[in-house]
DNA sequence: TGATGAGATGACAACGTTGTCGTCTTATTG
DNA sequence: CAATAAGACGACAACGTTGTCATCTCATCA
């Protein structure tokens, strides 16, 4: 169905190789010959077959694999956007897949991407164990991790947010506004960022001589509904917290719902910025970071690896920024 | 570097073809032979090369191309998610690119995707002219358009939102609440959905015997800031509108900002739902639709085409749903 | 015991392209 | 005018896989 170079060659009355030369803009073809070839290409609607090209070349498929949890989640879609920008600049395509936080699916995705011979891998890891990647890395597939590091055994670049520092800054902001009873909503403790942000929360309290009250810490809420329930529970305590620190935007929104529903004036600082945070009934003070930047930095690192640069594994920490909007500045009752 | 089947064969002491058989789970290999082969595969870290496989097979690359405006935009990332779900179910990979609404880039993307021999294309078109696609379609690359139709000349499936009906329902909702002076913010008239929604607005007014007052219609605001300015202007009129209908979520947010800033009680209904619409100071009544569903439907259609089904070009219209939240129900002053 | 056939395995070509090298044409130079 | 070189072009192999067909080994049976 699709014409090949051979078909073009036949039609133009030249050899296969000459067509190849014209298609690739190589020198050493007389203008009139090139014209004949181009006419044939246009007439037949020929498109060079990049599959064959990649096979013959043996080296580059000019593609990179991106494994994230879920494109529909703005955090990941912004990462994807950052990756796409860099890929575009390097004339690469992005082949992406959603792991949905399922280690088996992540593994399957990565394996399939390797089978497709992507030139590099960008992964937001879900699985705990990435040793299965070691052979792939050895075989020369470059890989860069984002948002969460792989375990020690893996020698690869990582681009992370400064989770500890950001969380600490957020909680210290609440402390600076007079809060002492500060609750913490963290995601499942199996998640790296949840642990790190929890650590920042602890550090902030400790640094200001406040003992961590485990009854104010909720590890586990994983979605808006869970966070809403957990917050409602906290607000219903005999001695409720005067402020809440939430470990990600889902949790922030859940907490917000509960606080709003309870008609409470509990202060709130959340990790992750989100659209409309400034438009809410109480604009939300957040620890912001820049997922697109994470995607860009990771993709850039990956491209350097793909170009054969041989640095020791990098660990990039991206800064956060506290955005003060109102919810984090109300004093304790 | 990467071992091939030949390497595996050598190590296992069998022929190339036998390795192929084992790798593909074909019958007719003695268990002990298969074991030798599997041992060699494990020892060498062999991964089947899908590039070579696709070339040899000649037919399927098991991939589909997705061209959207911008993954970072939730509308498109939800489409991408829907596509991904279907792709996953069919064991396909999604290769995506962002056109950023640039026709030249869209064309380049589609061309490159065809060169990569994707099995099918899913496109949210930016360009006005897609005739360049005709040869590709003829060559057997299936294509399905989303959100906006291609021009007449292109024979391809389209999955659209019921823009006219949705807009009409939204405006009629305002009319039902007593409004007569209803402003309309529509995006650039070059955009299909903007035109269609504008048409729904006109139809609603006409159906209720209200003449369209062009001074209340603003075509052109394309982002939050533009919508905010346009709305401020409308509110400053001597005889301002009592309600505003906005053609997409960016415009809704801009209008909301202006209304909030002016301390006005102007009613508002917007096209597109958005996260937190229910959490704002005034929860926003919207005409909701389901981008992920659009992605799914389009991908399903595409898969049917790819499987060789030969229907006439389909035109799927997805329904909208009016979600009443408060901003659309305040009466005229 | 030799014919028969089923099952296991291998040799080879082909997918569409590009790198290497050889051949042929034409212009240049002594 | 013959020698030479540069330029244009083509023949062929190879990339790693799979489909086709041939071959080989046994167990079975008349």
Query: In this structure, what is the dihedral angle of CA atoms A234, A193, B80, B225, given to the nearest 10 degrees?
Result: 70
Per-residue confidence (pLDDT) for residue B196, from 0 to 100: 97
- pLDDT score of A137: 87
Closest alpha carbon to A286 in A255, A241, A317, A242: A255
Tokens of B206: 């006409």
User: What was the pLDDT predicted at B151?
Assistant: 82
Residue A59 predicted with pLDDT over 80: no
Per CB-CB distance under 8 Å, the chain B contacts of A80 are 71-72, 77
Neighbouring C-alpha atoms within 13 Å toward the C-beta of A154: 27
Nearest residue of B to residue A114, measured between CA atoms: B47
Of B224, B286, B187, B75, the residue nearest A276 (C-alpha): B224
Whether pLDDT at A276 is above 90: no
> A57 or B40: whose pLDDT is higher?
B40
A151 pLDDT band, cuts 50/70/90, is confident
Q: In this predicted structure, what is the pLDDT of residue B242?
A: 97
- Choice between A227 and B28, residue whose per-residue pLDDT is larger: A227
pTM of the model: 0.91
The reported pLDDT for the residue numbered B128 is 79
Q: What is the pLDDT of residue A67?
A: 97
Distance CA B85, CA A311 (A): 37
* DSSP per residue, A201-265: HHHHHHHTTPPP-GGGEEE---SHHHHHHHHHHHHTSSS--SEEEESSHHHHHHHHHHHHHHT--
What is the b/e burial string over A67-83, where b = at least 16 CB atoms within 10 angstroms of the residue's CB?
Answer: bbbbbbbbbbbbbbbbb
CA angle A197, A155, A313 (to 5 degrees): 80
**d(Cα B76, Cα B145) in Å, to the nearest integer?**
13
- Mean of the per-residue pLDDT values for chain A? 94
Give residue A91's pLDDT: 93
| DSSP, res B32 | H
Is residue B122 within 8 Å of B146, Cβ to Cβ? yes
Cβ A119 vs Cβ A62: under 8 Å: yes
Structure tokens at B143: 């294509």
**pLDDT for the residue numbered A44:** 94
Close Cβ partners of B14 (under 8 Å, ≥ 6 residues apart)? B33, B36, B37
pLDDT band at residue A271, thresholds of 50, 70 and 90?
A: very high
| Average pLDDT for runs of 10 along chain B of length 333 | 93 96 92 95 94 87 96 95 97 96 94 94 89 86 93 89 98 98 95 95 98 96 94 96 96 94 95 87 93 98 90 95 96 88
Decide: helix, strand or coil at residue A196: helix
Task: Please report the pLDDT score of residue B126 as a whole number.
Answer: 85
CA of B18 to C1' of D28 (A): 27
The model's confidence at residue A214, banded by pLDDT at 50, 70 and 90, is very high
- On the question of pLDDT at A127 being above 90, the answer is no
- Interface contact flag, B72 A55, Cβ < 8 Å: no
Average pLDDT over residues A120-141: 87
**What is the Cα–Cα distance from A265 to A224, expressed in whole angstroms?**
19
Residue of A nearest to B44 (CA): A135
pLDDT > 90 in chain A, percent: 82
pLDDT for A303 beyond 80:
yes
Helix boundaries (H) for chain A: 5-12, 16-23, 31-44, 50-57, 74-89, 103-115, 133-138, 163-176, 192-207, 224-235, 249-262, 291-306
- The residue of chain B nearest to residue A52, with distances taken between CA atoms, is B55
A274 contacts chain B (CB < 8 A): yes
How do beta strands B182-186 and B243-246 pair? parallel
pLDDT at A280: 81
Given A51, A72, A84, which is nearest B51 (Cβ)? A51
Report the alpha-carbon distance of residue B216 to residue B186 in Å, rounded.
11
The overall longest dimension of chain A from CA atoms, in Å, is 90
Tell me which of B281 and A203 has the higher pLDDT.
A203
Beta bridge partners of B122: B66, B144
Residues in contact with strand D, defined as Cβ under 7 Å from any of its atoms: A 13-18, 27-30, 33-34, 52, 55-56, 58; B 2, 4-6, 16-17, 20, 23-24, 46, 48-49, 52-53, 55-57
Question: What number is the average pLDDT over the span A94-103?
Answer: 94
Nearest to B149 by CA among B133, B165, B166: B133
- pLDDT at position B130 is 86
């Amino acid at each position: 169905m699709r014409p090949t170079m051979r078909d073009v060659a036949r039609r133009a009355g030249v050899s296969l190789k000459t067509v190849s030369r014209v298609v690739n803009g190589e020198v050493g073809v007389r203008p009139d010959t090139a014209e004949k070839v181009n006419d044939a290409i246009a007439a037949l609607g020929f498109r060079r077959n990049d599959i064959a090209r990649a096979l013959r070349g043996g080296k580059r498929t000019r593609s990179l694999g991106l494994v994230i949890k879920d494109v529909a989640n703005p955090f990941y879609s912004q990462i994807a956007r950052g990756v796409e920008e860099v890929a575009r600049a390097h004339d690469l395509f992005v082949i992406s897949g959603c792991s949905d936080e399922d280690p088996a699916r992540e593994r399957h995705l990565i394996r399939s991407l390797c089978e497709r011979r992507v030139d590099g891998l960008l992964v937001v890891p879900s699985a705990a164990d990435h040793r299965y990647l070691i052979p792939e890395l050895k075989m020369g597939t470059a890989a860069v991790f984002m948002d969460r590091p792989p375990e020690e055994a893996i020698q690869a670049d990582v681009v992370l947010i400064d989770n500890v520092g950001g969380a600490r800054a957020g909680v210290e902001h609440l402390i600076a506004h007079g809060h002492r009873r500060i609750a913490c909503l963290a995601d499942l403790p199996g998640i790296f960022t949840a642990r790190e942000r929890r650590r920042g929360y602890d550090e902030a309290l400790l640094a200001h001589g406040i003992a961590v009250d485990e009854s104010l810490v909720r590890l586990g809420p994983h979605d808006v509904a869970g966070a809403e329930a957990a917050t409602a529970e906290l607000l219903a305590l005999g001695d409720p917290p005067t402020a809440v620190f939430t470990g990600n935007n889902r949790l922030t929104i859940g907490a917000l719902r509960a606080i709003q529903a309870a008609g409470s004036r509990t202060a709130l600082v959340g990790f992750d910025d989100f659209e409309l945070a400034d438009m809410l009934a109480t604009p939300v003070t957040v620890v912001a970071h820049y997922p697109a930047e994470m995607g860009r930095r990771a993709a850039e690192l990956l491209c350097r690896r793909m170009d054969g640069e041989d640095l020791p594994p990098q660990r990039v920490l991206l800064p956060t920024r506290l955005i003060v909007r109102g919810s984090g500045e109300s004093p304790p009752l």
